Amino acid sequence: MTAHTGGQARTGQHATPQKPEHQEKSWHEDERPSASPLAFIERVRGAVRLVALDPAGLALGLRPGLTLADARARVPHLVAVEADPAADVRLLERLADDCDRWTPLVCLDLPDGLILDITGCAHLFGGETALRQRLLARLERLGFRAHAVIAGTPDAARALARFGRSGLVPEGEEARYVASLPVGALDLGEEATLALARAGLKTIGALAGRPSLPLSARFGEAVRVRLARVTGREDIRLTPRRALPDLIAEHRFAEPIGRAEDIEATLEGLVRQLATMLEARGQGGRRFEASFFRADGAVRRIPVETGRPTREPGAVLRLLRERLDSLADPVDPGFGFDLVRLAASRAEPLGALQVRLDGRVVEDEEIAALLDRLTARFGRARVLRFIARDTHDPGRATGLVPAHDAPAGAGSALPHGEPDEAPTRPFTLFDPPHPVEVVAEVPDGPPLRFRWRRVLHQVMHAEGPERIAPEWWRFPHGGTLSPVRDYYRVEDREGRRFWLFRAGLYEEASHPDVGMDTAPAMDMPRWFLHGLFA
């Protein structure tokens, strides 16, 4: 990174060019015959080629890109396994989750690299050299072989790691270190790389010594930009995989913890820490996330949300407990957690509360606490509030949204209807409407009887039609159903009241020059049950 933070601004990157033991699911350790070299294969343009090899295979002189037939000719006992790029990405994402322990700024570098922004994080782990060593040691324990490079810009670190270098680039020395790399390290694509090679420019050092204007005129602007980034003259920002939280409190353990009481106590301590930090800033969090980093690399995140900003340790702890209790698959400590982190995001200003004379604040607080508790237990999509939308289309006029997203009273402003009239809108709506079989007068009489869910209903009272069409910009293009609907309010003999509609018109159906026998029944208007009245 550029020196905008004043002190050391560094980017670390490590790549895992060989990924033999870690193709998930497609292959398991115990299936492997002992001491046989292993290769992952893929069909490339009609030929089956090796895409990755384990150390044993590499030692025998096999290389990625070789066809399987050639490889088998050289090493008959080679074990070949189909490559699964999707599983590789999943594995890389799990690894990235685990790397959150070093810095919150982690991004994927597909297919097999990770870029970490360690600006301002290195001192927590005893300096850059120590951080790099600890990271490599951890990866090795998890079964990966990796190259790790720390450099001033992500591109420089990436180019060096991809081309087999390993180590630490002193500040401002990027240009010197990358000079010996081939131009392929600029990652410009095959065509541009080939063009550069044909012009005799084989290394980055050869490019860097030339004036940039003729270079970009001949090979394109990308060459100049990439060159500036790789040599450390220009910096870019990384896009982290997850949004950065506003505040973090964490606890690291030399010895992993696994007992429920320990975890509980740790969480409590973290919540208190976070509350103190929030109070110092005069803020409250809307979203809290507890992350449990397992010693074996798995990471579990448990988020809870509140309806209004809070920093009360008791409330946050209660929500977390509620959430942990209601998980379908409980948090499994496995061999224990060696890092527990609590992050607050969406921090908002929160002043001291003042109780009004009528005690309303207390009541509102109680409702908010109840909503938080229910949301933590059942999930956002299950605790809802009504809202009104500005349209007359009954399917979209109102809605249910998570209670945390809607202000109280969002659904209050709706018309009540004329005095002395029966309700004109049903109590419940079906989405989508249910098709029904209807006997009705042509062209626009109300239904006489209809069959819904295999029960025949005789209509006693009916009112309609009320014609409702969506806004013109919502008219569907094509489609067999007419968007115009004629609604009827009907009541059957037992006193059940229904909201039926006819999609389309009978006139549209009976075209003069098409006889009924040639026009199939699909042209007839269809009837639906949209809702039930009380």
Partner 1 sequence: MRPTPDITALRKTLASHEAPRLSVAGRRFSFGVEGLDSALGGGLPAGALHEIIGAAGADLPEGEAFTALLAARAAQGRPILWIRQDLMANEGGMPDARGLAALGLDPGAFLLVRARNGEQALRAASDGAACTALGAVLIEIWGEPRRLDLTATRRLALRAAESGVTLLMLRLAARVLPSASHSRWRVAPLLSVPLEARAPGPPAFALTLLRQRAGPSGVAGEAPGQNWNLTWQLEWDRDQQRFRTPDSRRKPRFLDGPALSRPVAALPAGRPAGAGRADRKAG
465 upstream amide cis, omega within 30 of 0: yes
Residues facing 290 on adjacent strands: 302, 342
Neighbours of 394 (CB within 10 A): 19
128 Cα distance to chain centroid: 31
Strands (E) in 403-517, as ranges, are: 428-440, 447-452, 455-468, 485-492, 497-503
Between 414 and 516, CB nearer to partner 1: 414
* Shortest distance (Å) from residue 386 CB to partner 1: 4
Q: Tokens 């070299």 label which residue?
A: 37
Question: Among residues 334 and 402, whose Cβ is nearest to partner 1?
Answer: 402
C-beta of 33 vs 432, nearer to partner 1:
432
Given a contact cutoff of 8 angstroms between Cβ atoms, the answer to whether 32 and 79 are in contact is yes
User: Could you tell me which residues come within 8 angstroms of residue 473 by beta carbon, excluding any fewer than 6 positions away?
Assistant: none
Please, are residues 436 and 490 in contact by the beta-carbon 8 Å criterion?
no
> 115 or 368: whose CB is closer to partner 1?
368
Tokens read off for 365: 């607080």
Instruction: Give CA–CA dist 347/352, Å, rounded.
Output: 15
Residue among 241 and 318 whose Cβ is closer to partner 1: 318
Minimum distance between the CB of residue 457 and partner 1, rounded to whole angstroms? 10
3-state secondary structure of 478: coil
Q: State how far the Cα of 266 lies from the Cα of 254, in Å rounded to an integer.
A: 14
Nearest approach in angstroms of CB 317 to partner 1 is 17
What's the rounded Cα separation, in Å, for the pair 393 and 471? Answer: 8
- Own/partner contacts of 506-509, CB < 8 Å, gap of 24 or more, are 506/442, 506/443, 506/444, 507/443, 508/482
Measured from the CB atom, is 484 or 532 closer to partner 1?
Answer: 532
E strand spans, 88-196:
106-109, 113-117, 147-151, 167-168
- Shortest gap between Cβ of 421 and partner 1 (angstroms)? 7
Dihedral of the alpha carbons of 130, 131, 134, 136, in degrees to the nearest 10: -110
The least CB distance from residue 431 to partner 1, in Å, is 7
Q: Which is nearer to partner 1, 31 or 420 (CB)?
A: 420
Residue 289 beta carbon to partner 1: minimum distance, rounded to whole angstroms:
23
H-only helix segments in 167-312:
174-178, 190-198, 204-208, 212-219, 221-230, 260-281
Give the pairing of strands 11-15 and 113-117.
antiparallel
Residue 416: CB minimum distance to partner 1, A: 6
- For the CB of residue 530, give the shortest distance to partner 1 in the complex, in Å: 9
Q: Please, are residues 402 and 384 in contact by the beta-carbon 8 Å criterion?
A: yes
Q: 13 with 113: CB under 8 angstroms?
A: yes
How far apart CA 72 and CA 64 sit, in angstroms, is 13
Least distance in angstroms from the C-beta of 473 to partner 1: 22
CB of 422 vs partner 1, minimal distance in Å: 5
- Judged by beta carbon, residue 251 or residue 496, the one nearer partner 1 is 496
Q: CB 486 → partner 1: shortest distance, Å? A: 15
Q: Is 162 exposed, middle or buried (0-12, 13-18, 19+ CB in 10 A)?
A: buried
Which of 29, 494 has the CB closer to partner 1? Answer: 494
Which CB sits closer to partner 1, 144 or 501? 501
Q: Which residue's CB is nearer to partner 1, number 152 or number 426?
A: 426
Q: How far is the CB of 332 from partner 1 (least distance, A)?
A: 23
Dihedral sign of CA atoms 505, 508, 514, 520 in order: negative
What's the rounded Cα separation, in Å, for the pair 156 and 160?
Answer: 6
Q: Residue 316 has which token pair?
A: 């946050």
Query: Which residues of the shown chain bind partner 1 in the complex (CB under 8 A)?
Result: 362-364, 366-367, 369-371, 373-374, 377-378, 381-388, 394, 397-400, 403, 408-412, 414-417, 419-431, 460-463, 489-491, 493-497, 531-534
Instruction: Report the residue number, 241 or 425, with the smaller CB distance to partner 1.
Output: 425
Contact 402, 381 (CB under 8 A): yes
User: In the bound complex, what is the minimum distance in angstroms from residue 358's beta carbon to partner 1?
Assistant: 12
- 432 contact partners, CB below 8 Å, separation of at least 6: none
Residue with smaller CB distance to partner 1, 422 or 481: 422
CB-wise, 298 or 410, nearer to partner 1?
Answer: 410
Determine the Cα angle at 494 with ends 490 and 498, to 5°.
25
CB of 497 to partner 1, least distance (A): 5
> What does the DSSP assignment read for 7-22?
S---EEEEE----GGG
